[in-house]
Structure 1
Amino acid sequence: MRIFEEEHSIPIFIMTDDTGIIQHSVFSAPDPNSGYTTDDNSRALIAAVMLYEKFKSKKYLKLIFTYTSFLLYAQNKKGTFKNFMDYNRNFMEEEGSEDCFGRCLWALGYTFKSKGVPESIKSAILTMIYRAIPNISSLTHMRGKVYSLLGLNLIYKALLEKKHSSINNELLDKYLNGIEIVEVNNTPIRSTDDLIDILKNEIVEICQYLMDNFQTHSENSWHWFENSLTYGNAILPLSLLKSGSTLNNKSYLDTAIESLNFLEKLCFVKDYFKPIGSNTWFKKGDAVPSEFDEQPLEACGTCIMYTEAYNIFKDQKYLDKAYACYEWFLGKNSSGKTLVDEFTHGSYDGIMKNHVNLNEGAESVLAKIITELTLDILQ
């Protein structure tokens, strides 16, 4: 079954101008009043890289340049990222959330590991990674850590691949010595080997944090990392799946699957995917999760989680669930209504209690594109 047709990329062009991708829309029209967010532009960078890898078209390469430039502008002197920008290109804060930082690191890692992205862009990406890394150890929020963990895995694997190429390794060492030396826990990063060691240490540290939290909060019928399920839930098992695969660590994989199964029981009560509603969070001891709102980003994240599980274990049940997350967009959901605008091919903003939100903001259209391309890669 062919999932992604090139016309499905139309919404990313509708929502993107010379600055970046605009945050919200009024129905399908971009709303300049909403400005931009670094959150959305980091997601857009992942989508653009996926599109360029698939079609090798310069129009997608131009998008990669646009979103990379946005992140360069968003990164502050500390190495973290500003998030909210008005339509006049003025940032409204000096530092965004830890979630924003983690999402940026994920996008940077995805781009850096891409085989198709030109090395000149990867050098700019590496510059941002290099500036960001000293901030990882000071993260305190779980999702900031987890989004960062996804990026760290990608960067770590990309550097290991480069390490096996003496030419690439030599060039990277020269690059690292040609920019300002930064330190992580009083250790200067001067070579590829230094960077690889630091990345591995950060991966292990965040994974141990997740394992400890899972041990602390799990009991009886509750198998989760916190005492509540909130937003971006699938990213937590996903990050341990990625790390377990990267480091060949069975404990990480076992905990990832245990938490995946717990989330699955809540999101697949019926024969379709229904994410945890965002109106109120689902706390330990609650009878049932909040029913609404259902958001495209949750379908996307859960699809990626199941796809990763399938890639590791080759069990068809995970692939079936990944497709069920995609089918949520098509109408196999609690409302029985499609979330796809048949003219723009974009995704509506979500399922509310009494209606479908017919706006098509950046987060939603990117969620659909990334979901489709994630499954398309398997074919």
Structure 2
Amino acid sequence: MTADFVHLIRLTDDTGLFEHARHATVRRGHGYCTDDVARGLLVTSREPDPSPAVLRLAECYLTFLAHAQDGTGAFHNRLGHDRRWSDEPGLGDWWGRAVWGLGTAAARSTAPWIRQEALGMFLLGATRRSAAVHAMAYAGLGAAEVLRADPGNTVAAVLLRDAAAAVGWPAEDPLWPWPLERLTYGNASLAEVVVAAGHLLRDDALLAGGLRMLRWLHGVQESDGRLSVVAATGWRRDGPRERYDQQPIEVAALADAAATATAATGQRHWDLVVRQAAGWFLGDNDGGVAMWDPLTGGGFDGLTQDGPNLNQGAESTLAYLSTMQVATGR
């Protein structure tokens, strides 16, 4: 068993990945969500030499997504512990994350049957488009994974270009070049998909725009050489910028985006951002506290002004694992 995945294994049963935990104890009553299961498939598929236990996790998450996807490529999001869906299939963030996870599995899984099954599900999901910017960005990142493995995949290429277009072009204002009026959650993923599109589609102007967005985003989330990321309430162009509560998903998104920028440009500056992201989890943050539990392997749910939120749910644990993967070159 891979030690880093101990808490993820704890959060997973034979159906899927539970969303919430009270400290390290699973809260079964809150059920499962496609959002987190897709993140789980992404992270387990990134492992270059997965243990049998990690492969079983990937198999479980892929099976969950197969059950969640309907015949049009949309996905259910919320499944209760009673194994009943509480929603209709849709194209929200969970669709985008599912397409991202499936694209990653199709490109990177060490199991041929997982790659084959995930690719078929990806291609179906990739026929759809969402009105939500984040959903499109996440789906585009899945398309980028497929294109890296198969540069001739036209379905992935079209989805990636559409995702970059959905994010939009950076504004001229140097104080706020972000294409949206507000920073919310998973912000670096929006810049990352534009960088990936520019690189993989050989569009130099698009690449330059994405890098401009990412440089600014990193700059406004850096304080005294460490990361101080967007609070859960978000930051507006002209509004106050609260320091807490900081969410692990922001740190993981920055790490992923920096790794993509390094691959696109060869500039080693972005390695510093990855190191800062890993450092945030290890205690180099505004609270000076570790954001993961070495006893359980879980990631803490947020950094508050009073220290870590000690709950260790799926999103935060996966954010920790994902960041450590990037930091070790996976």
Same fold (TM over 0.5): yes
> Does residue 125 of the first structure (1) align with residue 118 of the second (2)?
yes
Any idea what SS the aligned residue of 1:89 has?
coil
Any idea what SS the aligned residue of 2:127 has?
helix
> Does residue 103 of the first structure (1) align with residue 97 of the second (2)?
yes
Q: Which residue of 2 aligns with 1:331?
A: 283
> Does residue 205 of the first structure (1) align with residue 162 of the second (2)?
yes
Map 1:288-367 to 2 at 5 A. 288-367=240-319
> Does residue 78 of the first structure (1) align with residue 33 of the second (2)?
no
* 1:90 Cα deviation after fit: 0.8
> Does residue 148 of the first structure (1) align with residue 100 of the second (2)?
no
- Which of 1, 12, 26 aligns to 1:16? It is 12
- CA 1:229 to 1:218, structure 2 compared with 1: closer, same or farther past 3 Å? farther
How far apart in 1 are the matches of 2:252 and 2:20?
A: 18
Please tell me the residue identity of whatever aligns with 1:7: A
- CA 1:46 to 1:206, structure 2 compared with 1: closer, same or farther past 3 Å? closer
Any idea what SS the aligned residue of 1:377 has?
coil
How far apart in 2 are the matches of 1:110 and 1:347?
A: 22
Any idea what SS the aligned residue of 2:290 has?
coil
How far apart in 2 are the matches of 1:291 and 1:204?
A: 34
* 1:54 Cα deviation after fit: 2.8
Q: Which residue of 2 aligns with 1:282?
A: 235
How far apart in 2 are the matches of 1:335 and 1:100?
A: 31
Please tell me the residue identity of whatever aligns with 1:43: R
Q: Is the 8 A contact 1:234 1:302 kept in 2?
A: yes
* 1:208 Cα deviation after fit: 3.2
Any idea what SS the aligned residue of 2:329 has?
helix
- CA 1:14 to 1:272, structure 2 compared with 1: closer, same or farther past 3 Å? same
Any idea what SS the aligned residue of 2:178 has?
coil
> Does residue 54 of the first structure (1) align with residue 6 of the second (2)?
no
Q: Which residue of 2 aligns with 1:176?
A: none
Query: Where in structure 1 are there 5+ consecutive unaligned residues?
Result: 164-195
* 1:100 Cα deviation after fit: 0.8
Please tell me the residue identity of whatever aligns with 1:13: I
How far apart in 1 are the matches of 2:44 and 2:156?
A: 25
Q: Is the 8 A contact 2:144 2:197 kept in 1?
A: yes
Deviations 1:282-312 (A, max 9, x none): 11122x4221111111111111111222222
Deviations 1:107-158 (A, max 9, x none): 11101011x432222222123123212212xx21111111111111222333
How far apart in 1 are the matches of 2:272 and 2:123?
A: 38
Please tell me the residue identity of whatever aligns with 1:48: T
- Which of 265, 270, 295 aligns to 2:224? It is 270
Query: Where in structure 2 are there 5+ consecutive unaligned residues?
Result: none
* 1:73 Cα deviation after fit: 0.7
- Percent of aligned pairs with the same amino acid: 24
Q: Is the 8 A contact 1:76 1:94 kept in 2?
A: no
Q: Which residue of 1 aligns with 2:32?
A: 36
Deviations 1:62-93 (A, max 9, x none): 11110000000111232111111111111110
Give the number of the structure whose residues are more often helix, by fraction: 1
How far apart in 2 are the matches of 1:49 and 1:201?
A: 24
Q: Is the 8 A contact 2:12 2:18 kept in 1?
A: yes
Q: Which residue of 2 aligns with 1:186?
A: none
How far apart in 1 are the matches of 2:283 and 2:159?
A: 41
Q: Is the 8 A contact 1:8 1:344 kept in 2?
A: no
* 1:96 Cα deviation after fit: 4.2
- Which of 320, 323, 328 aligns to 1:371? It is 323
How far apart in 2 are the matches of 1:26 and 1:9?
A: 18
How far apart in 1 are the matches of 2:148 and 2:263?
A: 16
With the length of structure 1 as denominator, give the TM-score of the two structures.
0.83
Deviations 1:300-334 (A, max 9, x none): 11111112222222323210111111111111111
Please tell me the residue identity of whatever aligns with 2:267: D
